[in-house]
Structure 1
């Protein structure tokens, strides 16, 4: 079974945080994505690119994987598994445009996260942790259009 450790957003040095995952909702439904390469459904997220802040990674990945161009987002914790660290974000998507032509085959909106998600144990853990901290979040409004 996958061992997941949980930390506050300031407990792990920034340079060690290499992934961002985004628990996103649009019209009160979770946004899940189908990756062309892996198959199966998952929540948006990905690897931090050189020169990015982890917040920029989260915003870029949310746009690339869902087409979200206007949203409110907040970090709410850091997870670790397999010796890597990722920052967990929550997002309330306001506006979605056409899905960019990246690695995502399809997006879907669901009321409840399916049990059989890729990395499902991690994503369900992130959902539980969000419930513990959601009243204390520091939201940022993002608009991806130029």
Structure 2
């Protein structure tokens, strides 16, 4: 078997690698020497009653006793509010050739899409209308639109 050839560049790379390893070891020893030590107690951080971080433990006299049974786990049930299903608004835009438009609600100034299939009466721009809302593909749509 032939001996591997050790060229000048291989020797230099090996020297650099060993030098890096020694420097890394020296840095590690220096960090150890400069560290405070003390273990876990020096690493703990507490939160005071105002939500600020501190290195002193909280005052036990300010501790509040919480009854575990009074804590409600889960999402509260949604209460259905009775809202008038008929809204009123003004037609802000309507294109007869394409068959759609938008209605601006009087209460919350929200714009709702309206299609010609959801109309009861013929409407024009700036007409005052009453309508109901229905969930569509991209949000709420105005349906059963009547002129006032």
TM-score using structure 2 length: 0.21
Larger RCO, structure (CA 8 Å, separation 6 or more): 1
TM-score using structure 1 length: 0.22
Larger radius of gyration: 2
> More helix per residue: 1 or 2?
2
> More strand per residue: 1 or 2?
1
